[in-house]
């Protein structure tokens, strides 16, 4: 079995403003690519918008999200050597400030990932340009005014986009994740690769999918 039996994914613990330790809501750290927030088989992908290998894995993750009993969630996870990734991830997290349908979040994610691979190839790495592209994509998908996006970018209040990014990074560090892409299945890091296609993923998850299917049939 590639991962532990299906259950709600592991949740990291972080200090809150009260100084106490409490659970970080699962929905807080990731972006769903599937309808169910979590299912019997949960795949979490830690991706960097400026990482070519993260971009390579993205189409397969969308295919994976369509499988029965599978939930896929993306964790924006910029690498220290990709300073641009942090800016993009912060912009992307703005959509969590508004009640945006999960499909729109997924659409934003897909467009941002594609746009910044082209952006990087063209050598456009200025902060203003990066934010402009992100605001255009997010604004078009969510029908949000650019003035709001600009103000929200600097909001460090809880749960502001920068605070959300900090918690996403803490969530990854808690699970000893240091590079992208990295994948977790039902709360455990697995040795998956960006080169895996949907057939490879399905084969890898087969024991869990079979168990999930049997459990559904017995009810």
How far is the C-alpha of 18 from the C-alpha of 87, rounded, in Å?
28
Q: What residues form DSSP beta bridges with 15?
A: 21
Question: What is the b/e burial string over 185-217, where b = at least 16 CB atoms within 10 angstroms of the residue's CB?
Answer: bbeebeebebebeeeebeebbeebbebbeeeee
pLDDT at 5 over 80: no
pLDDT in tens, 33-75: 877 666 688 899 999 988 889 989 999 999 998 888 898 988 9
DSSP 3-state of 2? coil
Give, to the nearest 10 degrees, the angle between helix 127-142 and helix 83-93: 30
pLDDT grade for 1, boundaries at 50, 70 and 90: very low
List the one residue out of 13, 191, 159, 165 whose CA is nearest residue 76.
Answer: 165
The pLDDT of residue 110 is 85
Rounded to a whole number of angstroms, the distance between the first and last alpha carbons of the chain is 23
Task: Choose between 29 and 174: higher pLDDT.
Answer: 174
List the one residue out of 56, 37, 24 whose CA is nearest residue 171.
Answer: 24
**Mean pLDDT along residues 13-18:** 33
pLDDT in tens, 129-163: 788 888 888 888 877 777 777 777 776 665 678 88
Strand order in the sheet with 70-76: 31-32, 70-76, 41-47, 182-185, 188-190
Phi, psi of 63 (to 5 degrees): -65, -45
Task: Choose between 96 and 9: higher pLDDT.
Answer: 96
Q: For residue 19, count CB atoms less than 10 angstroms from its CB and return exposed for 0-12, middle for 13-18, buried for 19 or more.
A: exposed
Look up the pTM and report it.
0.76
What is the longest distance spanned by two Cα atoms in the chain?
56
């Amino acid at each position: 079995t590639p991962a532990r039996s299906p259950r709600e994914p592991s949740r990291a613990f972080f200090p809150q403003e009260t100084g106490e330790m409490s659970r970080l809501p699962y929905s807080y750290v990731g972006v769903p690519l599937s309808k169910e927030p979590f299912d019997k088989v949960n795949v979490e992908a830690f991706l960097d918008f400026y990482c070519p290998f993260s971009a390579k894995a993205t189409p397969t993750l969308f295919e994976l999200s369509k499988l029965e009993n599978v939930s896929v969630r993306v964790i924006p996870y910029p690498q220290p050597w990709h300073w641009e990734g942090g800016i993009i991830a912060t912009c992307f997290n703005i959509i969590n400030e508004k009640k945006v349908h999960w499909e729109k979040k997924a659409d934003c994610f897909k467009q941002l990932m594609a746009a910044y691979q082209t952006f990087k190839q063209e050598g456009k790495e200025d902060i203003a340009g990066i934010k402009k592209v992100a605001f255009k994509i997010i604004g078009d998908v969510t029908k949000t005014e650019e003035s709001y996006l600009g103000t929200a970018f600097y909001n460090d209040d809880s749960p502001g986009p920068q605070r959300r990014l900090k918690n996403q990074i803490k969530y990854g560090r808690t699970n000893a994740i240091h590079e992208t892409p990295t994948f977790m299945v039902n709360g455990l890091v697995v040795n998956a690769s960006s080169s895996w296609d949907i057939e490879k993923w399905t084969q890898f998850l087969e024991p869990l999918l079979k168990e999930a299917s049997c459990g559904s049939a017995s009810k």
